[in-house]
Amino acid sequence: MNLLVDMNLSPAWCPVLRRHGHACTHWSDVGDPGAADAVLMEWARRNGCVVVTHDLDFGAILAATQAEGPSVIQMRTRDVLPAAAEHLLATALARYEAELHAGALIVLDEDKARVRILPLRR
């Protein structure tokens, strides 16, 4: 799976996710760190990437636009460093691979994953 890690998560995620078999790019390597979230989302959509973020704005963008992609994983854990959340994210990527390929918003916290299929409807 192709993953794009948002600026609000450490670039240290990329080697961790590569070890789990995913292609991974940190936004700072391909885009302007100060770019609007919509710019990052469009880049991810054009390049077939799932966005991994800690930012709630991405879910709001998907809801407001009723977009069918890109898929987004929101990390809502207290500690978002790989040492603390690697197992949680790696497990979710494997478990929800089909949903992510089809288009989904997945919110992960320590206790559960909430999966919503895109486009988000009321």
In a domain, residue 82? The reply is yes
122 is a domain residue? no
**Mean pLDDT to the nearest integer, 66-88:** 96
In a domain? residue 52: yes
Q: How many folded domains does the chain comprise?
A: 1
Is pLDDT above 80 for 13? Answer: yes
Which residue range(s) make up the domain with 20? 2-117
Q: Phi/psi zone of residue 60: left (φ > 0), alpha (ψ -120 to 50 degrees), beta?
A: alpha
Does residue 109 lie in a domain region?
yes
The answer to whether residue 108 is domain-embedded is yes
pLDDT grade for 105, boundaries at 50, 70 and 90: very high
Q: How confident is the model over 87-102, as pLDDT tens digits?
A: 999 999 999 999 999 9
DSSP state of 82: H
Over residues 25-62, the pLDDT tens digits come to 999 999 999 999 999 999 999 999 999 999 999 999 99
